[in-house]
Amino acid sequence: MNECLAFYQGDFVKENNVNISVRSKAFNYGLACFEGIRAYWHEDSNQLYAFKLKEHYTRFLQSCKVLNIKLPYSVEELCDITIELLKKNNFKSTTYIRPIAFKGSEHIGPTLKDNDDRIVIYCQPLGSYTGKDRLRVAVTSWTRLNDNMLPPRVKATASYLNSALASLEVTSRGYDEAIFLTATGHVCEGPGENIFMVRKGKLITPPPSDNILEGITRELVMQIAREDLGIEVVERSISRTELYAADELFFSGTAMEVTPIIEADDRIVGNGEPGEICKRIKEAFSNLTVGKIEKYKDSCTSVY
């Protein structure tokens, strides 16, 4: 894997040769933000499609702005660099791309003022994130961060300690993934994915004001449901016990894609099988990510 090429500070270099100081503020204080992007390999057309690149880099630069990280690249330039990187690596399978912007400064002290701002982009083949096609989840005792602490709208590396603690707790107890509640007790999201619930034929998901990351896959799931499947979508707060009353639950995310939840806090969801609405959305998602649906072709950038 480390034989892969990465992009670091303006050059394409062997990932092994990326040399980041142990003194960097990114390492010492987590002063960094990142993105997770997928490029989908389509065997039939012998093509790799970078998915929703523009949306990911728009969110990346928004995260940089909040962290006072100034990169010398526009969204378009970052998209071009990423396509070039994928090409140079000659990937012929579905790939995960991880751009990280960080404070490289080596001075002691957790300040975002220093100007030594850096970027690295690395990538690797990635199939299924969990290796499972259905998940058993549990609500974690760790509360989700809120906008006045460590803003969930920003993909700050430091926020993922909150995610990692939740994951450790529930996976140690034998569950596949955690669900966070907000400080007010509402259902929020998973450690690295948004959550959807189906009740009485409606698709319901927590609003950004419930401290979720504004997921790119979440937005797409809502679009598919509304425009292609004619399903009513509601963004509203969800109470914990609604998870137990739900007809369907599923996660959405770049790494997680669209994955059904069949059990929450030891309660069977629906009939214990992946739900019909989830299955239809998942199918549409897997077709459109490889450029098979005309309407969504704009979201797929051909690498080769």
Ligand X SMILES: Cc1ncc(COP(=O)(O)O)c(C=O)c1O
278 makes contact with ligand X (CB under 6 A): no
Q: Count CA atoms within 13 Å of residue 248 on its CB side.
A: 23
Among 213, 224, 225, 290, binds ligand X (CB under 6 A): 213
Q: Are 230 and 183 in contact (CB under 8 A)?
A: no
Distance of CA 180 to the CA centre of its chain: 15
Residue 258 in tokens: 């669209």
Instruction: Give the active site residue among 155, 282, 292, 295.
Output: 155
Instruction: Give the footprint of ligand X on residues 219-258 (CB under 6 A).
Output: 252-254
Q: Answer yes or no whether residue 217 interacts with ligand X by CB under 6 A.
A: yes
Contact pattern from residue 7 through residue 36 relative to ligand X, giving x for each residue in contact according to CB under 6 A and a dash for the rest: -----------------------------x
Q: What is the longest distance spanned by two Cα atoms in the chain?
A: 56
Instruction: Tell me, yes or no, if 113 is annotated catalytic.
Output: no
Q: Which of 30, 99, 192, 260 binds ligand X (CB under 6 A)?
A: 192
Site for ligand X in 48-87 (CB under 6 A): none
Q: Does 194 bind ligand X (CB under 6 A)?
A: yes
| Piece of 68-76, 171-179, 191-199, 281-289 that binds ligand X (CB under 6 A) | 191-199
> In Å, what is the CA distance from 100 to each residue of 46, 121, 129, 202, 236?
29, 6, 20, 37, 32
Q: How many CB atoms lie within 10 A of CB 138?
A: 20
Residue 218 binds ligand X (CB under 6 A):
yes
Strand stretches in 59-131, DSSP E:
95-103, 117-125
What one-character DSSP code corresponds to residue 283? H
Q: Looking at this protein, which amino acid is placed at residue 144?
A: R
> Which range binds ligand X by CB under 6 A, 13-21, 169-177, 185-193, 266-274?
185-193
Binding residue count for ligand X, defined by CB under 6 A: 13
Q: Which residues bind ligand X (CB under 6 A)?
A: 36, 189, 192-194, 213, 215-218, 252-254
Annotated catalytic residues are 155
